[in-house]
Structure 1
Amino acid sequence: MKRYYIGLATTFHDPALAIVDAEGEIVFAEAAERFLQDKRAINAEPDHLFRIAHLVKEYCEQDAEFTIARSWSASSSRLPFLAGAASRLGLLSPDWLPRAPLDGWSRTLLMRRYQLHHLMLCVQSAHLKAGANLALVMRHRFGNRKLRFLNFDHHLTHAAYACYGSPFSEAVCMIVDGTGEHGSISCYTYRNGRLDRLSRHRGPESLGGLYMLITELCGFSSFGGEEWKVMGLAPYGRTDEAIYRLLRPMIKVAGCGLRYPPMRQLRAGLTRLCRYRRAEGASALEAADLAHTWQRVFSEIMDELLQNLYAETRVDNLVLSGGCALNSSYAGRVFESTPFKRLHIPSAPADDGNAVGAALLAYEQTAGPRKTRQKLFSPYLGSRVSAETLTNVARWSGLRTLRHLPETVHLEAARRLAEGRILGWIQERAEFGPRALGNRSILADPRPREMKDRLNREVKFREEFRPFAPAILHEYGEEYFENYQESPYMERTLRFKQEVRAKVPAVVHVDGTGRLQTVKREWNARFHALIEAFHRLTNIPLLLNTSFNIMGKPMVHTVEDALAVFFTTGMDALVIEDYLLEK
């Protein structure tokens, strides 16, 4: 009998669901935020009650056997370090939070104590209920009781997704995030499809936790996952030596782990650091020096960790994952500051990617080793827009500028882009991970200098400092970037060559860099054809690419979502599959 493997990313933020079939192939992966249209889907179930039946019907045989794999171990319904005591004292309940003291720091994630107790309550709830909706639907809707539940170590699910989808037969893997079951860093060796743990940091020390605090001090939301704003703001500032002297001693590297100073020293440093908090209503640029100094400290710590990992293993291939791997500014300079020769970061290195990792681990535990392919996982694993809805729009909307162009839509889109129009572009299956890679994108001509400000102001409705990414044809990468590296998932930031910066100013950040996406025909034929058509018109082999959303919202999920963004922003044209709509 066939068996399917459903992976659930069960952290209270970024829940996600993945389906692996009986042959070990990933047939679906998507974060819950897309369907819910709720950024990060905080405290939502990955197996949404009204969504899961549709997914099972579309991707599985309903009477098959199912293994449900969760991305935390069975003992992790509470966070380590303080959660057990908090539970015994009755503190893990909502009615305790209003009475919690406002002062006092916790070593765990460097939070105020009341914040930590709220976090632990969310974590406990998320882990206990994950899979309940799926079990109910399988029993009630499909009459299927052939379900088996498995739990896997959190960092192991990170590593499985990252390593199995890498181009390497041998690599070392480092996971760096806020926390796992025992600590915030784990290291693994990967050889011919086999993962073995090399080391695991134990303790509350967390580079991700300090990152969260800096995000809040810069005036952004760590719960909203806005650490990337700190990274984008950093090039506008410079090192503040007073901040650096505060930050650098707060966290020290010990082998492939971290150490805090004594608690009294740590609390004093945190209290002084909080004096640099951006004032309410002040420009984000007021926090630029704090952001820049933090990026320097973050990079120095990562350098030490990776240098120590290389010294221990002498393996040239590095796989990096966990939330801290989303720092593309650091990823682009790994080869400059460490001995590693090749780097892989998956399309979803944060906790949403663990849904795939858990499902693949369940497959291996049940069916045996997967065939090692040593090739990248496609990021295009999400939902398609409804063909029926698109047909209904064409039939009933009365939109006179809507045209069906099955053979030439990419050519017409390229012409609009070359004329300076801003265009939404939706094709086939959605990307898995936080970055638009040419299937749920807003695109523009990178040549006009004012295009960046126009997009931020009229379409994305976001801060003026936020940069935009270049999506470049692979064969022109070395012409445009210093020390060019392939970046299939927009996962690393590289420096533009000086002589090309004036050609594409809308995608050149203030420090001369760009977080690029490498585009190849075999990875995304339609997006490649569009950029080729734009290149023929303009002699520029790249487009400005940003996610199809507005600030604070996930990428669009349905035709209705796309039309709502299109008609309420300054976008000029919209392509959905073979349809072109213009204002």
Structure 2
Amino acid sequence: MTYILGISAFYHDSAVALLRDGEILSAVQEERFSRVKNDDVFPKNAIEWILQQHNVTMAHIDYVVFYEKPFNKFERILETCIRFAPRGYQLFSHAIPIWLKEKLFQKVNLKKQLIEFKGGELWNQKLLFSDHHLSHSAAAFYPSPFESAAILTIDGVGEWATTTVAIGSGQDIRRIKEMSFPHSLGMLYSTITAFLGFKVNSGEYKIMGLAPYGQPVYSTLIKENLVNIKSDGSFRLNMKYFRFATELRMYSSELERLFGISARQPESSLEQVHMDIAASIQEVTDEIFLALARYVRELTGEVNLCLAGGVALNCAAAGKVLKSGVFERIWIQPAAGDAGSALGAAQVCHHLYLQSPRTPASDYMPYLGPAFEQDTALTQLDNMDAEYRLVPDEQLFQLTADALADGKIIAWFQGKAEFSPRALGNRSILADPRVPDLKRELNLKIKYRESFRPFAPVILEEYASEWFDIEGASPYMNFIYTAKDGVNHKLPSVIHVDGTARLQTVSERTNQRFYRLMKQFYEITGCPVLVNTSLNVRGEPMVLSPEDAFNCFMNTEIDMLVIGNIVLDKHQQRSQKYQKYNYELD
């Protein structure tokens, strides 16, 4: 029996994954334990949980695999600073002392930390290092349903690569093309994110949500000045407008002169010009994404495509590629960003290093995090003086569906936590999408976030094609689809201003309890759709434990919390023991 532990850490979205003879046992992000959004620290809490959960110690672990090669990344930073000297001095003076003190000796430091876990003194200290984009590619291809596929990985930057093309076949992955730093679609999008006053590495999805409110009037300006796009989708950035390679900021003052406005300050009002810039960068991203997809199809001859890297989570661009028909089938790992690379690194070890054969996945289930037994949940709730009642299944689904149909907002906490940045029905806030003003209420009173932010619909799989332009299933909320005629008026809370929605489909096969609830709601209302958003507030990671869920419940205007078969009504709560939130900006 071979145990492999995969780790991603020290940039953003630290995570850990555990394989046993190639089987995915569990995977979880550190942020869910630390309660620090996008936490980048060594995932100590996540490792402790994953070892305890599967009754193993470090003595049982045959291989630990880190998701990238630190020395190669250090080489890139050093070369970049020298190349852009003297402008690179600021980055050099900030980064090099940290690397010399800590990161350059990451192998030694990782071993020191791993030895501290139970059984560490007996661990064989077999520590391997994958390549950043290889880890992304592996996380995308190995859990996919394809025997062979093209793999397109797009992110900010790994060691050197920013975009790579590979072919996955059987157990093998072979890289055939790559683009290198500083020419990066992820960095281009993140630069505009920063320019529009949002936080890099967490605010990019806000630009995607803001884009439909604008017109792409700056697209030509962007393509003529910021990025030179070739017919094959490759491109070069004009570094005159960017500072991420040399300084501790993303853009130069030249970018402000180009757009004719000052960069937006965080939390200041959003003007039409900001929406137009968002629409423009999204259109340019769509164009590059689609050109790359066409080139990859021609280059590889593959009919299936796996998308990986943080940019793959841009579901508007991914939706355009899907709708184009360039590939017959597209699969995106739900945790396509750096967190998912913990899983990819472990799979690199299993399939490439150990040469273990692979069977395409029939169904990849992203519910890989912690679950909580009812007794544990009750103990946590008792410790917080919560008022609750236990309801058997035959009543639970009817009671919850009735509450949703009555316009109540429900926190739905079931089973294992999702290994995904998106709630997929186990750590979700649910509501009736037919309520006209619900989007505003959810944004301002529940999520405490910007009013323009859209909410995603979840639909019973068997009815999806009747309501949206979708064929088949979309269980991971990875693509944008267009609502069919008349649906906008039926579902005002989940259809965005451009008539699209980031859709999730649910079947009894993929999530039995969630499906059962939705089926009950459909039988009451004739509507197979619910609003589904993550169970958290702005600046906070998705909840992990019943205690986290109760804190979120008490700090918001959520009406009811359902944890397994435990039901809590807001008007019955008198507890003063919950954690009072100080909402952070994200």
Structure 2 length normalisation: TM-score? 0.88
Q: 1:262 to 1:457 in 2, by over 3 A?
A: closer
1:24 maps onto 2:11 in alignment: no
Code of the residue aligned with 1:244 in structure 2: it is T
1:240 to 217, 220, 223: 217
Aligned CA distance change for structure 1 residues 394 and 403 (closer, same or farther; 3 Å): farther
| Structure 2 counterpart of 1:258 | 235
Query: Compared with structure 1, are the counterparts of its residues 258 and 529 closer, same or farther at alpha carbon in structure 2 (3 Å cutoff)?
Result: same
C-alpha change, 1:480 and 1:450, in structure 2 (3 Å) is same
Q: 1:184 and 1:121, CA in 2 relative to 1: closer, same or farther beyond 3 A?
A: farther
The DSSP-based 3-state class of the residue aligned with 1:508 is coil
Describe the shift of the 1:419–1:69 C-alpha distance in structure 2 as closer, same or farther (beyond 3 A): same
Q: Which runs of structure 1 show a deviation greater than 6 angstroms over 4 or more consecutive aligned residues?
A: 119-124, 264-268
1:565 to 527, 552, 561: 552
Aligned to 2:507: 520
* Contact 1:459–1:550 (CA under 8 A) maintained in structure 2: yes
The equivalent of 1:6 in structure 2 is 5
2:138 to 142, 147, 160: 160
- Three-state SS of the structure 2 residue aligned to 1:66 is strand
Match of 1:491 among 451, 458, 478: 478
- Letter of the 2:42 counterpart: E
Distance 1:423 1:566 in 2: 9
Distance change (3 Å), C-alpha of 1:87 and 1:558:
farther
Q: Distance in 1 between matches of 2:447 and 2:123?
A: 46
- Corresponding residue to 2:74 among 73, 78, 81: 78
Q: Secondary structure at the match of 2:493?
A: helix
What corresponds to 2:110 in structure 1?
A: 131
**How many angstroms does 1:307 deviate by?**
1.5
The Cα offsets for residues 124-166 of structure 1, whole Å up to 9 and x where unpaired, read as 846744634652224x655313230111111011001100111
| Structure 1: stretches of 5+ with no match in the other structure | 92-100, 107-112
CA contact (8 A) 2:393 2:565 kept: yes
1:156 counterpart SS class: helix
Kept in 2, the 8 Å contact 1:214–1:294? The answer is yes
Task: Tell me what 1:109 maps to.
Answer: none
What is the percentage of aligned positions where both structures have the same residue? 34
5 Å-filtered alignment, 1:9-408, equals: 9-21=8-20, 23-42=21-40, 44-46=41-43, 48=44, 51-62=46-57, 63-73=59-69, 75-78=71-74, 80=76, 82-84=77-79, 114=90, 118=94, 125=102, 128-129=105-106, 131-132=110-111, 134-138=113-117, 141=119, 143-223=121-201, 225-241=202-218, 244-254=220-230, 255=232, 257-261=234-238, 263=240, 270-273=255-258, 275-276=260-261, 277-279=263-265, 281-286=267-272, 287-337=274-324, 339-385=326-372, 387-393=374-380, 399-408=386-395
What CA distance in whole angstroms lies between the structure 2 residues aligned with 1:315 and 1:38? 40
- Distance change >3 Å, CA 186–CA 51, structure 1 → 2: closer
- Provide closer, same or farther for how the CA distance between residues 448 and 426 of structure 1 changes in structure 2, counting only shifts above 3 A: same
Residue among 404, 417, 422 paired with 1:417: 404
Say whether the 8 Å CA contact 1:403–1:581 is kept in structure 2. Answer: no
Tell me if structure 2 keeps the 8 A contact 1:236–1:292.
yes
The AA in structure 2 aligned to 1:33 is: E
How far is the alpha carbon of 1:175 from its aligned partner? Answer: 0.4
**CA, structure 1 residues 318+456, in 2 after alignment: closer, same or farther (shift >3 Å)?**
same
User: Partners in 1 of 2:444 and 2:253 — Cα distance?
Assistant: 40
Paired residue type of 2:78: A
CA root-mean-square deviation: 2.8
Structure 1 stretch 414-423 or stretch 364-373: which is displaced more? Answer: 364-373
Separation (CA, whole Å) in 1 of partners of 2:414 and 2:60: 31
| AA partner of residue 36 (structure 1) | S
Cα distance in structure 2, aligned partners of 1:500 and 1:87: 56
CA distance in 1: counterparts of 2:216 and 2:239, whole angstroms: 26
Q: Report the more deviating stretch, 296-305 or 407-416.
A: 407-416
Q: Classify 1:45/1:195 alpha carbon distance in 2 versus 1 (closer, same or farther; 3 Å).
A: same
Return the alpha-carbon distance in structure 2 between the equivalents of residues 203 and 77 of structure 1: 11
| Matched-pair contact (CA < 8 Å) for 1:472–1:543 | yes
Q: Which amino acid aligns with 2:216?
A: T
**Native 8 Å contact 1:253 1:304 kept in 2:** no
- Measured after TM superposition, the shift of residue 408 of structure 1 is 2.6
**Cα 1:582–1:65 shift into 2, 3 Å:** closer
**SS at structure 2 position matched to 1:530:** helix
**Closer, same or farther in 2 for the Cα pair 1:512/1:232, shift >3 Å?**
same
CA deviations on 1:200-233 (whole Å, 9 max, x unpaired) are 223420111111110011111004x110000000
Identify the residue that residue 434 of structure 2 maps to in structure 1: 447
Quick one: distance in 1 between partners of 2:189 and 2:509?
36
The aligned amino acid for 1:547 is S
Aligned counterparts of 2:363 and 2:549: Cα–Cα separation in 1: 29
Q: Which amino acid aligns with 1:359?
A: A
SS at match of 1:454: helix
Cα distance between partner residues in 2 of 1:215 and 1:88: 26
Contact 1:11 1:127 (C-alpha < 8 Å) held by counterparts? no
Amino acid at match of 1:5: I
The question of whether the paired residues in 1 share the 8 Å contact of 2:13 and 2:31 is answered with yes
Structure 1 residue 580, shift from structure 2 partner:
0.8
Contact 2:138 2:348 in 1 (8 A): yes
Distance 1:116 1:244 in 2: 34
- 1:259-311 superposed Cα distances (whole Å, 9 cap, x missing partner): 23475999785352464322455323441111011111111111221121122
Q: Per-residue displacement from partner, 1:84-104 (whole Å, max 9, x unpaired)?
A: 575999x9xxxxxxxxx9xx5
**Stretch deviating more after TM superposition (505-514 or 261-270):** 261-270
Provide the rounded CA distance (Å) in 2 between the counterparts of 1:262 and 1:442: 42
The 1-side partners of 2:56 and 2:399 are apart by 41
Distance 1:171 1:9 in 2: 25
**2:526 is the alignment partner of 1:539:** yes
Structure 1 position 534, deviation (Å)? 0.4
Q: 1:571 to 1:14 in 2, by over 3 A?
A: same
Contact 1:65-1:147 at 8 Å conserved across structures: no
Count matched residues. 555
Q: One-letter code of the match for 2:51? A: V
Shift of 1:8: 0.5
Mapped partners of 2:442, 2:164: distance in 1 = 39
| Partner SS state of residue 6, structure 2 | strand
Consecutive unaligned residues in structure 2, runs of 5 or more: 244-251, 571-586
State which drifts further: 229-238 or 251-260.
251-260
> What amino acid does structure 2 have at the position aligned with 1:278?
R
One-letter amino acid matched to 2:451: E
Q: Does the C-alpha gap of structure 1 residues 273 and 212 become closer, same or farther in structure 2, counting only changes over 3 Å?
A: farther
Deviation at 1:485, TM superposition (A): 4.9
Greater Cα shift, 401-410 or 294-303: 401-410
Asked if the contact 1:177–1:206 (Cα under 8 Å) also holds between the matched residues in 2, the reply is yes
Task: Say which of 464, 480, 483 aligns to 2:451.
Answer: 464
Alignment partner, residue 582 of structure 2: none
